[in-house]
Copies of this chain bind each other. A is one copy, B any other.
């Protein structure tokens, strides 16, 4: 006779679309500091690329002295760097904008943290050399397809200004959490750009091209730009992550009992470090500091926070959480609305009822 025992329930990715595959992390149910590949959100613009032998080679060419190609096994032999960092989709929290904006309706789980190992891009670029008139470095992935607004097939490609590209912690990564990159997260190579929204961290890296003019690919000039609110064509590029946070527990519109009192979550920023987290139960009249857990903090990691709520009595509450970073940025009351729905970082909020 079958006997079943008590077991731990498990969460799953939250499917936003299947073609292409866009799935959100069940971040409210994860408390580890390192998110496995399985629970890392997936953001794709196209179908997954076929992986063939040619994917194991990438080239650096263009405005360089010595164009080079690198094989997977070349990379593995070079000096490597390992970086723990937050990766957040520029469209994370898009579904929270009011008025609503079109696109993948991410709630707050298009964010993850993990450990990337790879070769610093600077090391590779110094092998090829850079010509004097170089302006930008373009990264192209093997993922390609049709956009709804263009006729031709385009690859996913992004550039970095030369100055940004020389940041010593940008990696051509081949490991995530001590394992080869998983297929869905860029195997065999993925560019990893700390502090930037994740569109910069190009998956399935195919080639790197140094150019002497600005790059105008659609994922640089149509998408991943903040359009100005006045409906003009003014726009500025999406780059560094805003200061942001999540209240992981309690869940929004959940019913809690009077014993409930541990509130927790994470906060992160693309500039500096998290300097402060504050909580409010009265619409922001009074703010109490939360406890920041810096025990495993690195320069690009998120900061777990918690708050022991001792006065939880029957009633309905709105809990607000406001994070600040060391460069003086603070989560705003209202998000900076933009028609493509990028960079949402208004103060985090959950409604709860205590019975």
* A2, closest chain B residue (CB): B51
Q: Which residue of B lies closest to A104 (CB)?
A: B254
Residue A29 at the chain B interface, CB threshold 8 Å: yes
Stretch at the interface among A9-17, A209-217, A240-248: A9-17
Q: List A residues 1-47 near B (Cβ within 8 Å).
A: 1-7, 9-21, 23, 26, 29, 47
In Å, the complex CA distance between A171 and B174 comes to: 55
- Is A53 in the interface zone, CB < 8 Å from B? yes
Which residues of chain B have C-beta atoms less than 8 A from A103's C-beta?
253-255
A236 at the interface (CB under 8 A from B): no
Report the interface size class on chain A: 35 or more
| Known contacts A6-B48, A257-B148; A29/B15 CB under 8 A | yes
Chain B residues, CB < 8 A from A19 = 9
Are B351 and A4 interface neighbours, CB within 8 A?
A: no
Q: Hey, what's the 0/1 contact readout for A94-110 against B, CB within 8 Å counting as 1? A: 01000011110100000
Q: Is A52 an interface residue (CB 8 A)?
A: yes
Instruction: Judge whether A288 is part of the interface by a CB distance below 8 angstroms.
Output: no
Minimum CB–CB distance for A52 against chain B, Å: 6
- In the bound complex, residues from chain B placing their C-beta under 8 Å from that of A177 are none
Given known A-B contacts A17-B251, A51-B4, A12 and B9 have beta carbons under 8 A apart: no
Q: How far is the CA of A351 from the CA of B48 in the complex (A)?
A: 27
The reply to whether B149 and A355 form a contact with Cβ atoms under 8 Å apart is: yes
Cβ of A21 and Cβ of B5 under 8 Å apart?
no
A275 CB-CB contact with B under 8 Å: no
Known: A18-B29, A102-B353, A103-B254. 8 other contacts (CB 8 A): A3-B52, A4-B48, A6-B48, A6-B50, A9-B21, A12-B23, A16-B251, A105-B251
Smallest CB-CB A-B distances: 9 pairs:
A12-B12, A11-B15, A148-B257, A4-B51, A9-B21, A102-B353, A9-B18, A148-B355, A149-B355
